[in-house]
Chains A and B, each alone.
Chain A
Amino acid sequence: MKSKLNLNKDNVDKARNYAKLIASDIQKFINRHTTVSVERTVCRFLGIDGVNELGVPYPNVIVDHLLKNDKLQYGVATFIASYLKYERFPLQDLGTRIDEGLSDISKYDVLDKKEVYSILSKYISDSLSNVRQNASLRQSYYDKFGKKEGPLLYVIVATGNIYEDVVQAKAAAVSGADVIAVIRSTGQSLLDFVPYGPTTEGFGGTYATQENFRIMREALDDIGEELHRYIHLVNYASGLCMPEIAAMGAMERLDMMLNDSLYGILFRDINEQRTFVDQYFSRVINAYAGIIINTGEDNYLTTSDAVTEAHTVLASQFINEQFAKLAHMKEEQMGLGHAFEIDPDVENGFLYELAQAQMAREIFPNAPLKYMPPTKHMTGNIFRGYVQNALFNIVTTTTNQRIHLLGMLTEAVHTPYMSDRHLAIDNAKYIGTTMKNFGDEIQFKKNGIIQTRANKVLDDATELLREISAIGMFEAIERGVFAGIKRTKTGGKGLDGVRAKHAQYCNPIIDHMIKELEGGEIDEL
C-alpha cells in the first residue's frame, strides 16, 4: 500500500523499538509470576468444570485450597498430577473431594516437570485438540462461505438474558451484521470467578459463562447457514478472569475477544501486576485458538480530549502490538483499537479523524483495526447522532478499517433497540456501498491539514514512547500518561491473587501451546 500521508518512516521504526523495550521489560516481570486466574485456567484446560452447591466454580475451589496452603507458587498442575498419581479418583471428583475435606492435594511434594507432563498429557491433548478443531471448523466456514472483504459490521446485544440476546443477534445478522458482541453484565470484570450455566438476569449486559457462549455460538452458526455467511462471535477476556474467559472462548469457538490489560488497569482499577500476567496467558490462548483480540485504546478518548490526546492512542497501540507479539500472536489477530471521538464542534475535526484513521491503517497494515464510533459527544438528539455516525462510517470505509463497530443513534439514551441496530447497519451498508472505492480514488494534499495532523500525532506518540521506555511502564501509569488516570503498582483489585513463581513452577498448558506456536514438536514435552 502506498502511503497517502507521507508518514515519517523513521519515526514509525523508532516508536516500534521503544514499544518493544517497554513490553519486554514488563514481560520479564510476567515470566516470574503466576496468578489465581492463570491457575484456574490450567484447571479448566485439564477439564475441571462445574460449581459446588454455593455456586463456587471448582477451579476456584482447587486454586483457593492451594492459595490457602501457600502452594500456588508451584502452579496447580503438579498437585493435580499428584492427585491422579496417588489418589486414583477421577479428576472431576477433585473439587468435591476438596470441598468435603477428603483430599488435601497441597500436602504432596512437587513432582518433576516431565512427570507432570506425562500424567496430564491425556487431559491436555484432549482439550487442546478440541481447541484446534474449533479453529479448523472456523476455517472451513470461511472456505465454504468465503471471507468477507472490507469492514466487518459489528453490533452489540445487551439484554441481560441470553435467550433474548439470541433473538436480537439473529435479527442483526439478518439485517447484515457480521459480528455480534454479547456485552457483559456490568461489574463482571471485578468478579474473581466466572459464573456458571445459562443466565437470564444481568445489568447492562449478559454474564459471560461458558454455557452462554455455547448457546450464542449455536444460534449464530444456525443463522449463518441460512444466510450463507459466517457470523463472528465476540466476548470479553478482560477483568479479573482474563485467561479463564479466553479459555472458554477457545473451547466454544468465539472469534474475537476484547483483551487489554491497560483498559482494565485504567478503567476498572484492576491491579497492574495481576492483569499483565493474566493478559499474557490469555493472549497465548487467543494466539493458539486463532482468536482476534480487540484492544481498548478507544476508551482513552472518552475521558481525554480526542484532539490533544490522540497520540496516547497510537502509543498504546504500539505497546499492545508488542505485547501481542510476545504472546506469539500473528499481526492478523491484532484488532488494535481506536475511535472517532473528536468534538463535532471542532473545526476540521472530520479531517483529523480521517488523518488518524488512515495513519493507524498505514502503521499497522496487517492488523484488523477495531474502529469505534462516536460515544462521548452523542446526545439525546438521535437525528444529529445519525449524522455523526454517518461521518464515522465514511472514515471507516475510506480508510478500510476492518472491525467496524456500528454507532447507535440512541447511544446516549438506552441499550440498543432492535430497530436502532437495524438503522445502524443500514447506515453503514449504504455508505459502504455508495463510497466503496472512494479511498482508492483520493490522495491527500502534500503537507496539507491531513498529512500534517498524522505526522504530528506520530511525532508525539514517538516522543511519549521514548519517555515511557526511559521510566518503565509501571512508572508511566503511575504518572497518568494514559487517559489522565493514575494507578499504582500495588493499587487496584486482584493483587492478592499474584504469586512469584518457584523455580519448580510448572504450567504444562502454556508450555504446550507455545511449543506448538513456535512450530516445535509437541512430543518433546
Chain B
Amino acid sequence: MSYDLNGKNFDRNLDLKNLRPYGDTLNDGKVQISFTLPVPNDEKGIEAARALAMKMGLPNPLIAEAITLDPDHTMYVVYGTVNHTVDYTDIVVQTVDAPSLSRHEIEDLIDAEIKRDVIVVGASTGTDAHTVGIDAIMNMKGFGGHYGLERYRNIQTYNMGSQVSNENLIRKALDVQADVILISQTVTQKDVHIHNLVHFIELLEAEHLRHRFIVIVGGPRISHELAKELGFDAGFGPRKYAEDVASFFVQELIHKT
C-alpha cells in the first residue's frame, strides 16, 4: 500500500478470519517498528533496513528516520503495511477463569465459605532482588489504587521480601500454616526465572507438599499458560492486582474444601 490519499481500495468489512492492523482505516495493515543495525548511517544502511523490513512482511516499507547511535550503529524507524493476517476466530488463550471480585466481596466470601483467616506467604525468590511485584500484591498500599492483600480484613500476609530461597519460602509456609504461596519474578535474564520456578515445584513435590498449598506465580514475563505448564495453580502477568489474585485463590480454596 502506498501513502496516497486516493487509492484506498481495501475491503472495509471487519474480517476476523483475516485480521489486519488498523492504522487510520480498517484493514490498511499499517505498523510501526524500530530496530538498530550495527552499520554506519548511510544509504547502504537504509537499504539494508528496508530489505530487512521486507523480509518481515512489509513489502513497501518507509524508513521514516535513520538515527546515528555511534559511527557503527544506526537505529531505523520504519512504517509499512504488513502483508500477513491472523485468524482471530482460531485463537485460544488460557486465562485464569475465576471471576474477579472486589475486596469487599472477597472478604465476605471468606467469612461465608471459609470461616477463618486465609494465610498467604509471598516472596521474590532466587536471585531476583526486586520486590516491586510482590509488594504491589501484598503490601497495605498495593499498587495503582488497588489495595494489597495486607489490607484485607481476613487475609493474613507474610511478605518475605526479595532473594528468598525456595527452601526458606517453603519452610515459612509450613511454619505459618499458609494456604497460599505467592512467588514474584520481576527481572530475569536468560530464563533464570524458569529454572528457579521449576526447582520450587520439584521441591514441593519431593516433600509431598504440592497439594498442601495453592501456589501462584506473578511477574511481567509470566502468563497463566506458562504458570500451568510449570506446575503452578495460576500465573498473573502485568495489569493484575491483589483482587485478581485473591479472587482466584479464595475460589480455589473453596473448591478444595
A189, B129: Cβ atoms closer than 8 Å: yes
A174, B189: Cβ atoms closer than 8 Å: no
Q: Choose the segment among B65-73, B85-93, B100-108, B112-120 that binds chain A (4+ C-beta atoms closer than 8 Å).
A: B65-73
Residues of A within 8 A of B192 (CB): 203
Partner of B127, one of A187, A302, A305, A412: A187
Q: Choose the segment among A280-288, A417-425, A464-472 that binds chain B (4+ C-beta atoms closer than 8 Å).
A: A417-425
Say yes or no: is A175 at the interface (Cβ < 8 Å to chain B).
Answer: yes
1/0 contact trace for A201-234 toward B, CB 8 Å?
Answer: 0111000000000000000000000000000000
Residues of B within 8 A of A170 (CB): 70
**In whole angstroms, how far apart are the Cα atoms of A407 and B196 in the complex?**
29
**In whole angstroms, how far apart are the Cα atoms of A341 and B139 in the complex?**
18
Residues of B within 8 A of A379 (CB): 238
1/0 contact trace for A432-445 toward B, CB 8 Å?
Answer: 00000000000000
**In whole angstroms, how far apart are the Cα atoms of A360 and B118 in the complex?**
44
Residues of B within 8 A of A190 (CB): 163
**In whole angstroms, how far apart are the Cα atoms of A23 and B192 in the complex?**
40
Contact size class for A? Answer: 20 to 34
1/0 contact trace for A298-312 toward B, CB 8 Å?
Answer: 000011110000000
**In whole angstroms, how far apart are the Cα atoms of A104 and B36 in the complex?**
58
Say yes or no: is B220 at the interface (Cβ < 8 Å to chain A).
Answer: yes
Say yes or no: is B233 at the interface (Cβ < 8 Å to chain A).
Answer: no
B163, A422: Cβ atoms closer than 8 Å: no
**In whole angstroms, how far apart are the Cα atoms of A268 and B187 in the complex?**
15
B131, A422: Cβ atoms closer than 8 Å: no
Contacts A174-B71, A419-B69, A422-B75 given; does A484 touch B189 at CB 8 Å: no
Q: How close is A109's CB to chain B, nearest CB, in angstroms?
A: 42
Say yes or no: is B208 at the interface (Cβ < 8 Å to chain A).
Answer: no
Contacts A203-B192, A419-B34 given; does A267 touch B238 at CB 8 Å: no
**In whole angstroms, how far apart are the Cα atoms of A204 and B73 in the complex?**
23
For chain B, the count of residues having a C-beta within 8 Å of the partner chain is 29
Residues of B within 8 A of A485 (CB): 161
**Closest chain B residue to A422 by CB distance?**
B69
A203, B127: Cβ atoms closer than 8 Å: yes
**In whole angstroms, how far apart are the Cα atoms of A98 and B238 in the complex?**
53
Partner of B141, one of A268, A305, A412, A413: A305
1/0 contact trace for A173-205 toward B, CB 8 Å?
Answer: 011000000000011011000000000001110
Residues of B within 8 A of A17 (CB): none
Q: How close is B69's CB to chain A, nearest CB, in angstroms?
A: 5
A268, B163: Cβ atoms closer than 8 Å: yes
A186, B220: Cβ atoms closer than 8 Å: no
**Closest chain A residue to B75 by CB distance?**
A419
Chain B interface mostly helix, strand, loop or mixed? loop
Say yes or no: is B204 at the interface (Cβ < 8 Å to chain A).
Answer: no
Residues of B within 8 A of A343 (CB): 144
**In whole angstroms, how far apart are the Cα atoms of A415 and B189 in the complex?**
9
**Closest chain B residue to A187 by CB distance?**
B127
Residues of A within 8 A of B129 (CB): 186-187, 189, 267-268
Partner of B220, one of A203, A302, A412, A415: A412
B73, A418: Cβ atoms closer than 8 Å: yes
The number of A-B residue pairs with CB atoms under 8 Å apart is 72
**In whole angstroms, how far apart are the Cα atoms of A143 and B75 in the complex?**
35
**In whole angstroms, how far apart are the Cα atoms of A187 and B161 in the complex?**
14
Residues of B within 8 A of A175 (CB): 69-70
Contact residues, B142-167 vs A (CB, 8 A): 144, 161-163
Contacts A203-B127, A302-B132 given; does A422 touch B187 at CB 8 Å: no
Q: How close is A483's CB to chain B, nearest CB, in angstroms?
A: 9
Say yes or no: is A160 at the interface (Cβ < 8 Å to chain B).
Answer: yes
Partner of B189, one of A204, A268, A417, A418: A204
Partner of B131, one of A171, A187, A303, A380: A303
Residues of A within 8 A of B139 (CB): 303, 484
1/0 contact trace for A30-57 toward B, CB 8 Å?
Answer: 0000000000000000000000000000
Residues of B within 8 A of A202 (CB): 189
Partner of A267, one of B75, B131, B140, B189: B131
Residues of A within 8 A of B141 (CB): 304-305
Residues of A within 8 A of B161 (CB): 269, 485
1/0 contact trace for A330-359 toward B, CB 8 Å?
Answer: 000000000000010000000000000000
**In whole angstroms, how far apart are the Cα atoms of A186 and B185 in the complex?**
12
Say yes or no: is B190 at the interface (Cβ < 8 Å to chain A).
Answer: yes
Partner of A171, one of B73, B132, B162, B238: B73
**In whole angstroms, how far apart are the Cα atoms of A484 and B135 in the complex?**
11
Say yes or no: is A376 at the interface (Cβ < 8 Å to chain B).
Answer: yes
1/0 contact trace for A450-493 toward B, CB 8 Å?
Answer: 00000000000000000000000000000000001100000000
1/0 contact trace for A151-187 toward B, CB 8 Å?
Answer: 0000000001000000000110011000000000011
A269, B163: Cβ atoms closer than 8 Å: yes
**In whole angstroms, how far apart are the Cα atoms of A303 and B134 in the complex?**
10
Say yes or no: is B128 at the interface (Cβ < 8 Å to chain A).
Answer: yes
Q: How close is B135's CB to chain A, nearest CB, in angstroms?
A: 5
**Closest chain B residue to A201 by CB distance?**
B190
Q: How close is B223's CB to chain A, nearest CB, in angstroms?
A: 14
Residues of A within 8 A of B140 (CB): 484
Residues of A within 8 A of B34 (CB): 419
1/0 contact trace for B70-98 toward A, CB 8 Å?
Answer: 11010100000000000000000000000
A204, B187: Cβ atoms closer than 8 Å: yes
**In whole angstroms, how far apart are the Cα atoms of A122 and B206 in the complex?**
58
Partner of A418, one of B36, B187, B238: B36
Q: Which one of A160, A303, A412 has the highest number of Cβ atoms from chain B below 10 Å of its Cβ? A: A303
Q: How close is B2's CB to chain A, nearest CB, in angstroms?
A: 26
Q: How close is A7's CB to chain B, nearest CB, in angstroms?
A: 29
Residues of B within 8 A of A376 (CB): 132
Q: Which one of A174, A204, A267, A418 has the highest number of Cβ atoms from chain B below 10 Å of its Cβ? A: A204
1/0 contact trace for A401-428 toward B, CB 8 Å?
Answer: 0000000000011010111001000000
**In whole angstroms, how far apart are the Cα atoms of A379 and B189 in the complex?**
19
Partner of B163, one of A160, A187, A303, A412: A187
Q: How close is B146's CB to chain A, nearest CB, in angstroms?
A: 12
**In whole angstroms, how far apart are the Cα atoms of A190 and B71 in the complex?**
39
B135, A422: Cβ atoms closer than 8 Å: no
Q: How close is B16's CB to chain A, nearest CB, in angstroms?
A: 25
Q: How close is A106's CB to chain B, nearest CB, in angstroms?
A: 33
21 contacts between A and B (CB under 8 A): A171-B69, A171-B70, A175-B70, A186-B128, A187-B129, A202-B189, A203-B127, A204-B188, A204-B189, A268-B129, A268-B162, A303-B131, A303-B132, A303-B135, A303-B139, A417-B36, A418-B36, A419-B69, A419-B75, A422-B67, A484-B139
Top 10 closest pairs, chain A to chain B, by CB: A187-B127, A174-B70, A171-B70, A419-B75, A186-B127, A422-B69, A419-B36, A203-B189, A204-B189, A204-B187
Name 20 extra pairs, CB < 8 A, besides A174-B71, A267-B162, A304-B141. A171-B73, A174-B70, A186-B187, A186-B189, A187-B129, A202-B189, A203-B188, A203-B192, A267-B129, A267-B131, A303-B132, A303-B135, A305-B141, A412-B220, A413-B220, A418-B75, A419-B35, A419-B67, A422-B69, A422-B75
